[in-house]
Structure 1
Amino acid sequence: MAHIHIIGAGLAGLAAAVRLIDNGHQITLYEAAARAGGRCRSFHDEQLGLLIDNGNHLMLSGNRSLHAYLDEIGGRDPISGAMDQLIGPNEARFPFFDLESGERWTFALDKGLWQGWVFDRKRRIPGSRPRDYLSALSLLMARKSECITDRLSVNHPLYRRLWEPLVVAVLNCAPADGSAHLLRRVLRESFARGGAYCQPRMARLSLAHCLIDPALEKLQKAGATIRFHSRINRLDLADGRLQALSLGDELIPLGAEDQAICATPAPIARTLLPDLSTPPDGEAIVNIHFRLPAKAVHPEQDGASVEIIGLVGGLSQWIFLRDELASVTISAANAVARRPADEIARICWGEVSRALQLGDQPLPPFRVIKEKRATFAASPEAEALRPKAATQWANLILAGDWTATGLPSTIEGAIRSGHKAAHICLQKSRAFQQHKPPLNNQHRYSAGSGHQHQLKSKAE
């Protein structure tokens, strides 16, 4: 059976590894850092005294690749079948608070395809009319060359109170720069299918508990080799194949049936494959984590407990609530990331206090995390540069949310890319087995001069 070498233990690499080991392959996973997870890292922050995620990630009930991955790593409750590592309302509900006007509303979808609520003034977003929601149909027909503002009018309240915060969160860029075609795919897989596919989800304890640790445990039990502090610094490519991985002074040759998946972030992939076309880096994302003064009672909207709140009219964009922790996310945040951390925290805390109706509370312990390379650029031009999973090298496959998944830089996109890479590996393995030459005609690779490996025939 083929040995699969996976470079990078983020979600893309883990998703590929889990699927491949379930199909009987030997796996070695190389991770340059001390822990797995990539941008889905979690850690105990001493200043807060709480477990926090490196950044907040909104997941949806309709994320099919995410749910398949959770099934594979054991993320369901064995009795109820529920995703016990994910929490969120049983309805597609997105509460909002306008920091300028003080208005509150809830964007809530009906479960089925028919969305009759648009004709109910009490359920519509304040200031909007039924015909304003037809703009979603325009987005579903967007062409690859179009930006969001080519399809949406910026001159009515629905843009400011729904589309702009949604676009900035999903694409991590201003609507004038964002790919309408990329947003189209997100809408087709979620909002266009009805509220049953749009229920917001977040990790119960942390992203690591939900998505990373169970995968590592499964891989280790299945006999995978996981090597942390192991940075692959060169790929030895010759004769249309990846011949070996260079790990410092260690050279790791690949056998005739072996394959490799490069599941690193795009900037690292470019250093390993200098001719690789990748989209440029997008804007930063800033996350601010606050320890609430007491275990806060979440504000209620129409009798429903709130875990995620959208904000408009301020610096903060989304608040994620979990027990004593309130985490703020600011996307498209290059300008914000240049400001001092304590200044960002003071401004955001004032907005959080108002949104959560906490009254006049002093600034609590906080942690500001600036992710300067959070996503790839989500413009139409950048989208055209995303590479496919298969490469010109017969046994080298790409994975990562920056590859051509058709989705933005999201958890769903990262997992889907890992599944795609695993699928290609399995196809290649089956093809190799079907065309495998007799034993006495097999080939092997041995180290040759320089850093390449020469193909040699085995003597009969």
Structure 2
Amino acid sequence: MTSSVAVIGGGLAGITAALRCADGGARVTLFESRPRLGGLTHSFKRGDLDVDNGQHVFLRCCTSYLALIDRLGVRAGVTVQPRLAIPIVSPGQDRVWLRRDALPAPAHLARSLFAYTPLSVAERLRFITAALALRRVRLDVPVTDDQSFGDWLTAHGQSRRAIDTMWDLVGIATLNATAGDASLALAAKVFQTGLLTRASAADIGWSVVPLGELHGTAGRRALSDAGVEVLTSVKVSSVRRGDGDWRIEGRPFDNVISAVPPDVASRILPAGVVPDGLGTSPIVNLHVVYDRKVLDEPFVAAIDSPLQWVFDRTQQSGLTDGQYIAVSLSAADDLIDVPVAELRARLLPALEALLPAARGAGVRDFFVTRERHATFRAAPGTARLRPSAATAHPGLWLAGAWTATGWPATMEGAVRSGETAAAGALDVLSSKSTFDGAAL
């Protein structure tokens, strides 16, 4: 008899877990409360425009995410830089670049760092010294997670200027937290894996099609082809232990993988499964449609500005005239409740200060998307609050970027969590099948 697995949640973690379990021979049902798959990486229509809810990029080192993209059959829907190259813009200043050359890590960034004019020569040298020290930080000890990344940087000679224009340039986008608010363990993971170990690891990739197409539509197609029963617009109210099985909406399952956010998991799962105290951090995205081209790169990173990362989303949106610009603002606690009109008045001039071509350009549309609970809060002490995939209840598993993946809340972390939960469920199912066969 084929063993059954229920997966709750149709984001990247849930899609991954469901596909892995189906590929492993289980009979899988996926429950998703919304009418679409994709979770926090989705798209919607605004007139004729395809709009992604947020700007989700990945790195070449995100091997599990790229494996999922291959499994979904949509590798042509993403692109990856041949070599890391980040154009950095600031008001009234010439553009500078953070890019790698052909040398092995960490020397691959040396030429770019020595030429990084926003910092003094002394600050550049101290940055390199701190980067080498960060490479030696142990990620597996509690004291590392308990320490603030900002405190560690200050102790290693980093000026406020260096933190603002270099460390936070990368850290805020990947951790959804400033250095002062971030766990040293999570920050060290980002820099060790992405920038300090393998030269090609931080080459940046992004979707060239709407995220809803890349993840949601392709995910549903792949799940269907794998024989997974996909139930959208079905809200799971509880997961209860039955007589030797688990019950979801009255249906029995041998294993359950919960791939929903922690607040949802805590409501539907048995008490005590989800630890208390894991906070969330918001992201705000500005969307601006201009009547002409104002940005000549796929993206730029901003310093000395209230803005952070600016993306050209024209191709992905289907826009045929003008240019569609999206601005991602991570760690946006101070912006999440600001009205759209105020955000426009405050931040549109800041965008024009970064992109001189935008001055005088017509703004055809300006709107805002907000993810109040975009990621878990990557604060010091977070590691002890992130649960493992296995729970104290046999047959019940947890997935999601907020679980103990060792990664920050990224698409890579979400996919890895789904892989881990599925591997645990399949191992139990395999052991049960072997035991039942032996008993016969």
Name the TM-score, length of structure 1 as normaliser. Answer: 0.85
Q: Cα distance 1:155–1:26, how it changes in 2: closer, same or farther (>3 A)?
A: same
- Equivalent residue, structure 2, for 1:174: 178
Q: Cα distance 1:173–1:366, how it changes in 2: closer, same or farther (>3 A)?
A: same
Distance 2:311 2:194 in 1: 20
- Equivalent residue, structure 1, for 2:93: 102
Query: For 1:263-282, what per-residue CA distance to the aligned partner results, in whole angstroms no more than 9, with x for missing partners?
Result: 01111001123312155232
SS at match of 1:372: strand
- Equivalent residue, structure 2, for 1:379: 379
- Equivalent residue, structure 2, for 1:129: 124
- Equivalent residue, structure 2, for 1:388: 388
2:257 corresponds to 1:270: no
SS at match of 2:256: strand
Deviation at 1:321, TM superposition (A): 1.1
Distance 2:186 2:149 in 1: 9
2:213 corresponds to 1:209: yes
- Equivalent residue, structure 2, for 1:292: 290
SS at match of 1:118: helix
Deviation beyond 4 Å, 4+ runs, structure 1? 119-122, 437-440
Q: Cα distance 1:89–1:297, how it changes in 2: closer, same or farther (>3 A)?
A: farther
Is contact 1:117–1:123 with CA below 8 Å preserved after alignment?
A: no
The 5 Å alignment of 1:3-402 reads 3-46=4-47, 49-76=48-75, 84-99=76-91, 102-111=93-102, 112-115=104-107, 117-118=109-110, 123-127=115-119, 128-140=123-135, 141=137, 143-153=144-154, 154-155=158-159, 157-237=161-241, 243-246=246-249, 251-254=250-253, 258-273=254-269, 274-275=271-272, 276-294=274-292, 296=293, 298-299=295-296, 306-323=297-314, 324-358=323-357, 359-402=359-402
* Aligned pairs, number: 415
Distance 1:272 1:399 in 2: 14
Moved more, 224-233 or 357-366: 357-366
Q: Cα distance 1:15–1:369, how it changes in 2: closer, same or farther (>3 A)?
A: same
SS at match of 2:246: strand
Distance 2:276 2:101 in 1: 39
Give the structure with higher Rg (CA): 1
Name the TM-score, length of structure 2 as normaliser. Answer: 0.88
CA RMSD of aligned residues (A): 2.1
Q: Cα distance 1:281–1:242, how it changes in 2: closer, same or farther (>3 A)?
A: farther
- Larger helix proportion of the pair: 2
Q: Cα distance 1:224–1:328, how it changes in 2: closer, same or farther (>3 A)?
A: same
SS at match of 1:137: helix
Is contact 2:283–2:331 with CA below 8 Å preserved after alignment?
A: yes
SS at match of 1:336: coil
Give me the identity figure in percent: 27
Is contact 1:5–1:28 with CA below 8 Å preserved after alignment?
A: yes
Deviation at 1:367, TM superposition (A): 1.8
Query: For 1:234-268, what per-residue CA distance to the aligned partner results, in whole angstroms no more than 9, with x for missing partners?
Result: 111267x653113xxxx1122xxx21100011110
Unmatched segments (≥5 aa) in structure 2: 139-143, 315-322
Is contact 1:279–1:402 with CA below 8 Å preserved after alignment?
A: no
Q: Cα distance 1:226–1:120, how it changes in 2: closer, same or farther (>3 A)?
A: closer
SS at match of 2:334: helix
1:118 partner amino acid: A
- Equivalent residue, structure 2, for 1:302: none
Deviation at 1:415, TM superposition (A): 0.6
Is contact 1:118–1:124 with CA below 8 Å preserved after alignment?
A: no
Is contact 1:144–1:181 with CA below 8 Å preserved after alignment?
A: yes
Q: Cα distance 1:253–1:286, how it changes in 2: closer, same or farther (>3 A)?
A: same
Deviation at 1:96, TM superposition (A): 1.0
Distance 1:242 1:399 in 2: 19
Q: Cα distance 1:365–1:149, how it changes in 2: closer, same or farther (>3 A)?
A: same
Distance 2:215 2:304 in 1: 33
